[in-house]
Amino acid sequence: MSKALEGVRVLDMTHVQSGPTCTQLLAWLGADVIKVERPGTGDITRGQLRDLPDVDSLYFTMLNGNKRSITLNPKEPRGKEIFTRLIETCDVMVENFAPGAIDRMGFPWERIQEINPRMIYASVKGFGPGAYEDCKVYENVAQCTGGAATTTGFDDGPPLVTGAQIGDTGTGLHLAIGIVSALYQRVSSGRGQRVVCAMQDGVLNLCRVKLRDQQRLTHGPLTEYPQYPNGSFGEAVPRAGNASGGGQPGWAVKCKGGGPNDYIYVIIQPPGWAPLMRIIGRPELIDDPEWATPAARLPKLDQCFAMIEEWTLTRSKFEVMAILNAEDVPCGPILSMKEIAEDESLRATGTVVEVDHPTRGKYLTVGNPIKMSDSPAEVARSPLLGEHTDEILGGLLGLTPREIAAAREEGAV
């Protein structure tokens, strides 16, 4: 079966996480992704957080599946020639180096356009134009500057970053949307374009409910937050603990077992109140005006969830999940990474995939979360450093073995 992005060739100048997430997604969607890496060392993550000696790290392998790897130094004269040829033959170029790095290689946007006016040139940067535009940025810097850290955690604790890589992977996903949109626009315009996504902006986009709450705050307390009604609100949106970010209250309550993940998140939708109260043995509260409406419950959400917890403590999180869902009460067990890795349904849907690697052996990776009926994603292992250098130089660019050998001797590949 064909793939959505079949025929699209991507010149992948990405490293670490944000850029590689984007290009891995494009590869799952069928693009031919050519990852350009520095000769000898490659993407720095190949060697970071290694669990096995001398083997590409899981950090690298889980972000670079389905790609081809070529080593190339565009700073060397012959490397520049090869890089120029690659720009000519590719549709999309993606990079996430520090600001100005590609320009310093001799390839500013104007030059790239000159070489290939149809090129879509996409970048992740830490910040947009302004005071911080030249700064280097990693995941947690973006979480802190994009509104995630200030709004995560409990009221009496420090700001917290989340385990979800919303700065890196989140921005990579934003960038991928920009790229496929630019590819679509190119069909009618015939021209490529510049696509840039700042990590601060990407995080803020994912934190938009908190900017919503900032504005609500000027009109009164945030009644679904745990600070209401007894705590106090300052000038900025406070940390909301496990309160739901939406219109229906929710909280993580403890379950039987007492382990760090023996919790379930329960949401009280208005239609769920009656079944919930029946299940936990408090049917008298179903119609009690002190409890029966969302407005009546808001000032005592802590008591609501305490009552629910008294019952959930008597069941495992999976039993609670089964019982509440049978009555259409939305809830979700806190699944540990171990449980997720072993989850059979995630394996069955291809969301968790086992792949085989020539030096590492089998490893688990997260497959494409986007399921498309006419473009199935087949998850393949990551490439070894420079595994496809000869294939790309010879097969795609038509260099002779002698030219390839010369480029290698000069340190260009």
Q: Contact positions toward ligand COA, by CB under 6 A?
A: 16-19, 36-38, 72-73, 75, 96-98, 101, 104-105, 124-126, 136-138, 168
CB nearer ligand COA, residue 93 or residue 279: 93
107: buried, middle or exposed (CB in 10 Å: 19+, 13-18, 0-12)?
buried
Structure tokens at 386: 């420079």
What is the crossing angle of helices 199-206 and 168-189, to 10°? 100
Contact in structure between 99 and 128 (CB atoms under 8 Å): no
Q: How far is the CB of 185 from ligand COA (least distance, A)?
A: 24
CB nearer ligand COA, residue 36 or residue 206: 36
Q: How far is the CB of 338 from ligand COA (least distance, A)?
A: 25
- Gyration radius from the chain CA atoms: 26
CA distance 265 to 247: 15
* 129 Cβ contact list (under 8 Å, min separation 6): none
- Going 60 to 66 to 68 to 73, the CA torsion angle's sign is negative
Instruction: Tell which residue, 160, 162, 165, 164, has the closest CA to residue 139.
Output: 165
Q: How far is the CB of 173 from ligand COA (least distance, A)?
A: 13
Find the helix or strand (DSSP H, E) in which 158 lies: none
407: buried, middle or exposed (CB in 10 Å: 19+, 13-18, 0-12)?
buried
Q: How far is the CB of 12 from ligand COA (least distance, A)?
A: 11
Backbone angles phi, psi at 69, to 5 degrees: -115, 130
Kindly name the residue from 168, 287, 356, 390 that is annotated as catalytic. 168
Q: How far is the CB of 104 from ligand COA (least distance, A)?
A: 4
CB nearer ligand COA, residue 312 or residue 365: 365
Q: Where are the beta strands (DSSP E) in 269-341?
A: 331-333
CB nearer ligand COA, residue 171 or residue 368: 171
Reading across the β-sheet that carries 331-333, which strands appear in turn? Answer: 250-254, 263-267, 331-333
Active site residue 168: yes
C-alpha dist (Å) from residue 361 to 67, 70, 256, 296, 339: 18, 22, 38, 57, 22
CB nearer ligand COA, residue 22 or residue 276: 22
The amino acid that residue 138 corresponds to is: Y
Q: How far is the CB of 124 from ligand COA (least distance, A)?
A: 4
Instruction: Tell which residue, 385, 333, 359, 375, has the closest CA to residue 38.
Output: 385
CB nearer ligand COA, residue 16 or residue 331: 16
Q: How far is the CB of 45 from ligand COA (least distance, A)?
A: 9
Number of Cβ within 10 Å of residue 193's Cβ equals: 19
CA distance 287 to 289: 6
Structure tokens at 104: 């310093």
CB nearer ligand COA, residue 111 or residue 347: 111
Which amino acids are annotated catalytic? 168
